[in-house]
Structure 1
């Protein structure tokens, strides 16, 4: 068998394997996954949604909300005790991941 014939035979076997697996996945409701395809991330909250979540959590006088490429959102506000704080907020859930007093 030549190299081309071996390559074509390997491709045919691989294709047959995929043809057999795809219907089984479709019937089970499972989605095929590959190592190269990243998992679907949750949608990012808008600045207005972050503002509403911070307000609902008791933060007041929210003066600044910035999108940070490293940390999600950075928010400057007053906490429920009246202290000026700088927060890091998760961009998908709106949860405060870090809080520190702002100077």
Structure 2
């Protein structure tokens, strides 16, 4: 009789724990529940972006702006030392467009 009560209590506790977890996952913000599916999830941080550009030879970065949700607008010096404005993919760091800066 005692083992039956213990087993029932253990099953009840386990069910409550699983139900609580399921509720937490359902009510979590989309960026936490499904990483990479919403908001800024998957976007490079500014330090990551600067590091990727530096590896490609860009320097003297003076301005970084988030342009729309998918791109960064970056003002920097290219590997030849000329001022440029870059459009950079926020997720990959790929340079989408380069324009000479009118400096």
TM-score w.r.t. length of structure 1: 0.58
Are the equivalent residues in 1 in contact too, given 2:70–2:91 (CA < 8 A)? no
Q: Which runs of 4+ in 1 moved over 6 A?
A: none
* 1:60-71 mapped onto 2 (5 Å cutoff): 60-69=59-68
Q: Which residues of structure 2 form unaligned runs of 5+?
A: 1-35
Q: How does 1:53-92 map to 2 (within 5 A)?
A: 53-69=52-68, 72-92=71-91
User: What is the total number of aligned residue pairs between the two structures?
Assistant: 65
Q: Secondary structure at the match of 1:82?
A: coil
TM superposition shift of 1:90: 0.1
Structure 1, unaligned stretches of length 5 or more?
1-38
Deviation at 1:52, TM superposition (A): 0.7
Q: Distance in 2 between matches of 1:87 and 1:71?
A: 13
CA deviations 1:72-93 (Å, max 9, x no partner) are 1000000001111000000000
Give, in whole Å, the separation in 2 of the partners of 1:77 and 1:99: 10
- Aligned-residue CA RMSD in angstroms? 1.8
